[in-house]
RNA sequence: GGGCCCGUAGCUCAGUGGUUAGAGCAGGGGACUCAUAAUCCCUUGGUCGUGUGUUCGAAUCACACCGGGCCUACCA
């Protein structure tokens, strides 16, 4: 049963900065939030999902200047790109605003007046480096110079990457502005500060006792900030600055981190203007402090203090509602490492969409998100295996293997005896819902996949394909079995609808119409027509992953290719029309199209060597593996497990000269560590695994190039 | 240097005091052929990082150590 009374829930994701495109790291947050929102809507609650572009600040100003156009033009372009990326991943905001909006300017003013009224604003001189040519004050990262500690050259203004020292930009030796190359000078300017220490008691109380924060976050704040007086928060920047000028302080602008969270309010205000209601319906609180609605902020762990100290302080000063929950997630790693452009793992949303189905990433993230602040690893091998097994093999397969039998007849008129399968999965609905509510999507996915396993086992036990061949007398039984299967499929589609909206829609198209409510998981459908089956999700092919990584690597400058081209001069004449080529079957190439283009540098990373097999033995327990020992010359030996059992006799392999990938990362296999890979050909058109051998005379250790 | 998190089967993880520690993937054997090399059944595999303690009883609690990660380092 759903919650008895609809809740009013306002949900936000952090505002993406207008200085860059959305990548897979960003998407952890937006997909996570979108799943939560779709879940709450499916449960019948009144939910508004808001976000906006974060547009202000020095970085935008500088970039616009460099591109020779206005900040507004830059921001508008990036907004269009962001919206397209989000739409591609089915992240469905109810409203997407901008911090550079009238509403935001007005609301910043209102919060500012509240801070002034409570006497929480003070003015102070700040000494900072200034670029006299560009005419701007310089943030630390816009200054470079020589480290005062270790004398390393070309270090940023805040810390040295060589020796790890931290210092003030003014301490740099020979500082240079990265904007103009000019020598910066120290100037002092007036800044405005919010004295949040005045709200120390409130913040200590709210962070520790309100239940809005994970205890780990609360503990972190208590240890790092609340144990001592809170420093004043610098909220203004002197002109020139791209942002809002502070009304009662001409020449001063609100710092980007002041107006960014106000963007949540502005987005709400704009949504209300379009859909009815008032800002107070969502952000006010009654005299007893009870908020008008729930407010859930989803953020990354890098911006915790803005959302748990400054933002609540601003809301408190303005008498607005405080966040119900601040849900913090970790960062994304790819294959266990930070996203890296050179490895091709710095993957933009757009690039992903060019190669793969967004539903697969949504599901993978859901299966990995458990509500904690730990980092989330996108392991591409696991990604491929998991989404193919779960979405294609288990869930979609339920419909794929049974729907066509119901196309002529539709669902059975009464729900057949299924041995309690549907009821069992229905009974798990509340446990799944509780997991979604807690942000433990991984648990929800586990429960759903167990139900999918039971459904597939049911089909195997009932053997509907035999009923289909058994003739008219088995038609009723066939309809019953298929009706059970399709109902179990649709039930799963309801549970998965927050994660896989497209699958849910396709399930509705197939049978029963659009899925509108969580309740639909509780009652099987009967007597309805079943549409012609269309495939629901395509498998992820490893080649597509490779292409994605290749497309994500920075374009290499097209350099010394000329060198390789000249090699043809001294070689044998090129056979422009190789004889007999027309007689080779096209099957292998058609079955496995060429991988994405790679550069010579990519190829060079793979170190192929000639090697001699010095030992080969059966691995008794293995189906496909032989254990080989190869010599790379001298006394360099490698153990390699090769998947060639059944195609090669170990005895005849010993002594053969082959080609191995010599710098492949060692792989722990069940029977031992494999330290390389023997190169062999295989493919469609012919059974077998064909080892490669060099011309005679090649010595172990020689490199292939 | 300080703080926090993690360490359970080859891999990813579930399990937070109570009977012989579980799942998925990978591996092995078999079945099936409806389905996108999908599915089903059976099966191999773990001194639960190490040690000491608390307890009738510890993967689970405490302490120490080892290993990995994240955040900080009197700037936010």
In a domain, A3, yes or no: no
Task: Say what the pLDDT of residue A222 is.
Answer: 81
- Between the CA of residue A658 and those of A171, A693, A695, what are the distances in Å? 60, 5, 10
Check pLDDT > 50 for residue A129.
Answer: yes
Total number of domains constituting chain A: 4
Nearest nucleotide to the CA of A372, by C1', is B5
Task: Say what the pLDDT of residue A220 is.
Answer: 82
Q: Which CATH number is A595's domain given?
A: 2.40.50.140
In a domain, A24, yes or no: yes
In a domain, A86, yes or no: yes
Percent of chain A having pLDDT more than 70?
84
Which of the nucleotides in strand B have any atom less than 7 Å away from a protein CB atom? 3-5, 10-14, 23-29, 31-41, 44, 69-76
In a domain, A90, yes or no: yes
Check pLDDT > 60 for residue A410.
Answer: yes
Note whether A343 and A28 are within 8 A (CB): no
- In this structure, the answer to whether residues A246 and A298 fall within a common structural domain is no
Whole-structure pTM value:
0.80
Task: Say what the pLDDT of residue A652 is.
Answer: 65
Task: Say what the pLDDT of residue A345 is.
Answer: 83
A215 CA vs B55 C1’ separation (Å): 28
- In this structure, the answer to whether residues A435 and A372 fall within a common structural domain is yes
In a domain, A543, yes or no: no
In a domain, A216, yes or no: no
Task: Say what the pLDDT of residue A700 is.
Answer: 78
Nearest nucleotide to the CA of A443, by C1', is B14
A212 CA vs B52 C1’ separation (Å): 39
Here the tokens at position A373 are 């602040």
Boundary of a domain, candidates A219, A252, A285: A252
Please give the average per-residue pLDDT across A226-251, as a whole number: 91
- In this structure, the answer to whether residues A242 and A289 fall within a common structural domain is no
Q: What is the pLDDT of residues A265-322, one digit of tens each?
A: 999 999 999 999 999 999 999 998 899 999 999 998 888 888 999 999 999 999 999 9
- In this structure, the answer to whether residues A81 and A127 fall within a common structural domain is no
- How confident is the prediction for chain A on average, in pLDDT? 84
Task: Say what the pLDDT of residue A565 is.
Answer: 26
Q: Which CATH number is A295's domain given?
A: 3.40.50.620
A393 CA vs B35 C1’ separation (Å): 9
- In this structure, the answer to whether residues A279 and A305 fall within a common structural domain is yes
Task: Say what the pLDDT of residue A395 is.
Answer: 95
CA torsion angle for A157, A158, A160, A161 (degrees, to 10)? -100
Boundary of a domain, candidates A499, A521, A543: A521
Q: What is the pLDDT of residues A189-203, one digit of tens each?
A: 899 999 999 999 999
- In this structure, the answer to whether residues A102 and A136 fall within a common structural domain is no
- In this structure, the answer to whether residues A451 and A383 fall within a common structural domain is yes
Task: Say what the pLDDT of residue A601 is.
Answer: 53
- In this structure, the answer to whether residues A466 and A364 fall within a common structural domain is yes
Note whether A650 and A626 are within 8 A (CB): yes
Boundary of a domain, candidates A252, A286, A311: A252
pLDDT range class, residue A630, cuts 50, 70, 90: confident
- In this structure, the answer to whether residues A284 and A408 fall within a common structural domain is no
Q: Which CATH number is A173's domain given?
A: 2.170.220.10
Higher pLDDT pick, A562 / A137: A137
Range of the domain at A620: 589-705
Please give the average per-residue pLDDT across A454-477, as a whole number: 93
Task: Say what the pLDDT of residue A649 is.
Answer: 64
Higher pLDDT pick, A448 / A673: A448
In a domain, A346, yes or no: no
Higher pLDDT pick, A359 / A636: A359
pLDDT range class, residue A670, cuts 50, 70, 90: low
- Cis preceding linkage at A61, omega within 30: no
Task: Say what the pLDDT of residue A513 is.
Answer: 95
A670 CA vs B48 C1’ separation (Å): 20
Check pLDDT > 80 for residue A139.
Answer: no
- In this structure, the answer to whether residues A325 and A415 fall within a common structural domain is no
pLDDT range class, residue A567, cuts 50, 70, 90: very low
Nearest nucleotide to the CA of A165, by C1', is B73
Higher pLDDT pick, A285 / A562: A285
CA torsion angle for A555, A560, A562, A563 (degrees, to 10)? -140
- Between the CA of residue A391 and those of A206, A257, A375, A504, what are the distances in Å? 42, 41, 24, 12
pLDDT range class, residue A579, cuts 50, 70, 90: very low
- In this structure, the answer to whether residues A283 and A399 fall within a common structural domain is no
- In this structure, the answer to whether residues A103 and A134 fall within a common structural domain is no
Q: Which CATH number is A492's domain given?
A: 1.10.730.10
**Which residue is it, tokens 């009967």?**
A526
Lowest-confidence segment of A295-299, A335-339, A463-467, A645-649 by average pLDDT: A645-649
Task: Say what the pLDDT of residue A668 is.
Answer: 57
Here the tokens at position A615 are 């030992």
Please give the average per-residue pLDDT across A233-244, as a whole number: 92
pLDDT range class, residue A402, cuts 50, 70, 90: very high
A645 CA vs B30 C1’ separation (Å): 20
In a domain, A214, yes or no: no
Check pLDDT > 70 for residue A334.
Answer: yes
Nearest nucleotide to the CA of A400, by C1', is B35
A522 CA vs B57 C1’ separation (Å): 42
Q: What is the complex's ipTM, to 2 decimals?
A: 0.90
Task: Say what the pLDDT of residue A662 is.
Answer: 75
Q: Are strands A332-334 and A376-378 parallel, antiparallel or unpaired?
A: parallel
């Amino acid at each position: 049963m759903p919650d008895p009374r609809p809740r009013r829930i306002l949900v936000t994701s952090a505002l993406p900065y207008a200085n860059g495109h959305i990548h897979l790291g960003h998407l952890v947050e937006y997909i996570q939030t979108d799943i939560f929102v779709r879940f709450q809507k499916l449960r019948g609650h009144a939910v508004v999902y808001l976000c906006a572009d974060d547009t202000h600040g020095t970085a935008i100003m500088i970039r616009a200047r460099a591109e020779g156009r206005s900040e507004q033009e830059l921001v508008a372009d990036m907004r269009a790109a962001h919206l397209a990326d989000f739409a591609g991943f089915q992240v469905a905001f109810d409203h997407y605003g901008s911090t550079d909006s009238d509403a935001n300017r007005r609301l910043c003013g209102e919060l500012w007046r509240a801070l002034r009224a409570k006497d929480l604003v003070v003015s102070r001189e700040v000494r900072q480096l200034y670029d006299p040519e560009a005419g701007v004050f310089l943030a630390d990262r816009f200054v470079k110079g020589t480290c005062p500690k270790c004398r390393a050259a070309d270090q940023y203004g805040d810390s040295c990457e060589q020796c790890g020292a931290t210092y003030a930009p003014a301490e740099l030796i020979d500082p240079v502005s990265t904007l103009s190359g000019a020598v910066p000078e120290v100037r002092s300017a007036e800044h405005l500060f919010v004295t949040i220490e005045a709200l120390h008691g409130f913040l200590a109380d709210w962070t520790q006792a309100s239940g809005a924060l994970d205890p780990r976050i609360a503990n972190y704040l208590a240890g790092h900030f609340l144990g001592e007086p809170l420093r004043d928060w610098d909220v203004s920047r002197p002109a020139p600055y791209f942002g809002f000028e502070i009304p009662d302080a001409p020449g001063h602008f609100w710092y980007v981190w002041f107006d960014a969270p106000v963007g949540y309010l502005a987005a709400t205000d704009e949504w209300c203007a379009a859909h009815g209601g008032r800002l107070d319906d969502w952000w006010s609180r009654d005299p007893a402090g009870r908020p008008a609605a729930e407010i859930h902020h989803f953020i990354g762990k890098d911006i915790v203090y803005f959302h748990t100290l400054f933002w609540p302080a601003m809301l408190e000063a303005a008498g607005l509602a405080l966040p119900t929950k601040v849900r913090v997630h970790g960062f994304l790693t790819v294959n266990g490492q930070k996203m890296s452009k050179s490895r091709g793992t710095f993957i933009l949303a757009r690039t992903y969409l060019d190669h793969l189905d967004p539903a697969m990433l949504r599901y993978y993230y859901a299966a990995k998100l458990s509500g904690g602040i730990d980092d989330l690893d996108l392991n591409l091998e696991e990604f491929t295996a998991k989404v193919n097994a779960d979405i294609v093999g288990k869930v979609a397969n339920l419909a794929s293997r049974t729907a066509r039998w119901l196309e002529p007849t539709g669902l059975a008129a009464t729900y057949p005896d299924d041995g309690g399968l549907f009821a069992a999965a229905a009974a798990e609905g509340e446990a799944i819902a509780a997991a979604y509510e807690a942000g433990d999507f991984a648990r929800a996915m586990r429960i759903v996949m167990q139900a999918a396993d039971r459904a597939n086992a049911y089909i195997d036990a009932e053997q509907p394909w035999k009923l289909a061949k058994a003739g008219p007398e088995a038609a009723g039984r066939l309809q019953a079995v298929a009706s059970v299967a399709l109902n179990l499929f649709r039930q799963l589609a309801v549970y998965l609808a927050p994660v896989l909206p497209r699958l849910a829609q396709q399930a509705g198209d197939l049978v029963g119409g659009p899925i509108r409510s969580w309740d639909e998981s509780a009652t099987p459908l009967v007597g309805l027509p079943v549409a012609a089956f269309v495939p629901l999700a395509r498998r992820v092919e490893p080649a597509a992953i490779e292409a994605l990584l290749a497309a994500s690597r920075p374009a290499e400058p097209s350099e010394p290719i000329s060198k390789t081209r000249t090699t043809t001069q001294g070689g044998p004449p090129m056979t422009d029309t190789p004889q007999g080529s027309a007689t080779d079957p096209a099957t292998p190439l058609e079955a496995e199209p060429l991988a994405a283009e790679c550069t010579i540098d990519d190829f060079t990373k793979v170190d192929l060597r000639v090697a001699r097999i010095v030992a080969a033995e059966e691995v008794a327990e293995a189906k496909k593996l032989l254990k080989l020992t190869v010599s790379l010359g001298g006394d360099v030996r490698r153990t390699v497990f090769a998947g060639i059992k059944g195609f090669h006799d170990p005895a005849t392999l010993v002594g053969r000269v082959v080609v191995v990938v010599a710098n492949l990362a060692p792989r722990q296999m069940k029977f031992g560590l494999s330290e390389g890979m023997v190169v062999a050909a295989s493919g469609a058109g012919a059974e077998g695994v064909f080892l490669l051998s060099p011309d005679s005379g090649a010595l172990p250790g020689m490199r292939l190039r």
